[in-house]
Structure 1
Amino acid sequence: MSRSGADLTLLLLGGFRTLVDAAKEELARRGYHDVRPVHDFAMRAIAAGADSASELGRQLSITKQSAAKTIAVLQERGYVTREPDPRDARRKRLEVTPLGFEVMREGEAIFDELRAQWERQIGAAQLATLEGHLTKLVGAVPIRFDTPGWLARDLDGSA
């Protein structure tokens, strides 16, 4: 059976959604019912150096206002804090809390478990082949933090 390019796109998106939805459900079972994919993207960007709403917005390709809302939610839930900047007392820097790092590690472990589940379903060799083909097609560099904003953009790059 021949498939179209649109079918391939939907299969790849379906694989992504299946893994993300399963990880979100498992995180909830483990007590992290309030974590969403965008929260993980935001915490990873903050851990990598996005220490303000403006910088987080740039990293995620979302508006400063959206970044500020995400930060507020993450602060409220104890995943990030605003700490005084040691170089400029007037400025507050974003930092991921130990709880935030715990959630990210838990999510990584869940994705490893889901990968192992797929490996059991289709076999180690088939999964390795799939991963090898995807790496050839999309490159070895992991997805960038700007995925939340990228998903909302038009083809010309505008929101």
Structure 2
Amino acid sequence: MREPVDPAGLDLGSLALFVGFAASDAIQDELAAMGFGDLRMSHGYVFQHLIDAQPTVSDLAAKLGMTQQGASKAVAELERLGYAERLPSPRDARVRQVALTRRGGEAVAAARRARERLERRLRERSDPAAFDAARAVLVDLLDELGGTAAVHRRDIRPPR
């Protein structure tokens, strides 16, 4: 029998990662309850680039650090699920741009609401000052590790 691991003994990076995974699972469960059970965490990496833009598959591939074939597969899956569509470019009809559908926009709004509810629930179960301090430390560490600029640009890539 394996000895249990005490979360208090984890290094900060692992602890933050596991908290992030647990938060992601909680958001996924809430999205499923709202009718978006077919979404996966990996879809969020594509969605972030469709919120304010309509990139081509090639652009998506470059932004996500993946092959064009991989990006095309991800877009095809989101199309099949009804969250994205490929539209002709207004400048060149031969070029196809990827856009969120109405359902995709609804999923983004639902995910934002779910994250707000989770944040509120976590804040309520904690001392407000400690919660704010923990948040400030995580923001500072993100900056220290070079992740702040990617967040600003909505350019978070899947882990390597």
Q: What TM-score do you get using the length of structure 1 for normalisation? A: 0.84
Identify the residue that residue 32 of structure 1 maps to in structure 2.
36
Distance in structure 1 (CA, Å) of the matches to 2:99 and 2:54: 9
TM-fit CA distance, 1:112: 0.7
The DSSP-based 3-state class of the residue aligned with 2:82 is coil
CA-atom RMSD in angstroms: 1.9
Identify the residue that residue 120 of structure 1 maps to in structure 2.
124
Identify the residue that residue 68 of structure 1 maps to in structure 2.
72
Identify the residue that residue 3 of structure 2 maps to in structure 1.
none
User: Residues 105-127 of structure 1: CA distance to partner in whole angstroms, max 9, x if unpaired?
Assistant: 10011011111111112122211
Residue in structure 1 matching 2:58, options 42, 50, 54: 54
Corresponding pairs, count: 147
Contact 1:50/1:56, CA 8 A, preserved across alignment: no
Identify the residue that residue 12 of structure 2 maps to in structure 1.
8
Distance in structure 2 (CA, Å) of the matches to 1:84 and 1:38: 25
Q: Which amino acid aligns with 2:140?
A: K
Structure 2's unaligned 5+ residue stretches are: 1-7
Structure 1's unaligned 5+ residue stretches are: 153-159
User: Residues 65-106 of structure 1: CA distance to partner in whole angstroms, max 9, x if unpaired?
Assistant: 111111001101111111111111112211111210110110
Distance in structure 2 (CA, Å) of the matches to 1:84 and 1:100: 18
Distance in structure 2 (CA, Å) of the matches to 1:134 and 1:105: 25
TM-fit CA distance, 1:145: 2.9
Q: Which runs of 4+ in 1 moved over 6 A?
A: none
2:90 is aligned with 1:86: yes
Percentage identity across paired residues of the two chains: 27
Contact 1:81/1:95, CA 8 A, preserved across alignment: yes
The DSSP-based 3-state class of the residue aligned with 1:89 is coil
User: Residues 44-81 of structure 1: CA distance to partner in whole angstroms, max 9, x if unpaired?
Assistant: 21234352211111111122111111100110111111
Residue in structure 1 matching 2:157, options 121, 134, 147: 147
Contact 2:57/2:97, CA 8 A, preserved across alignment: no
Aligned CA distance change for structure 1 residues 64 and 50 (closer, same or farther; 3 Å): farther
Distance in structure 1 (CA, Å) of the matches to 2:136 and 2:79: 39
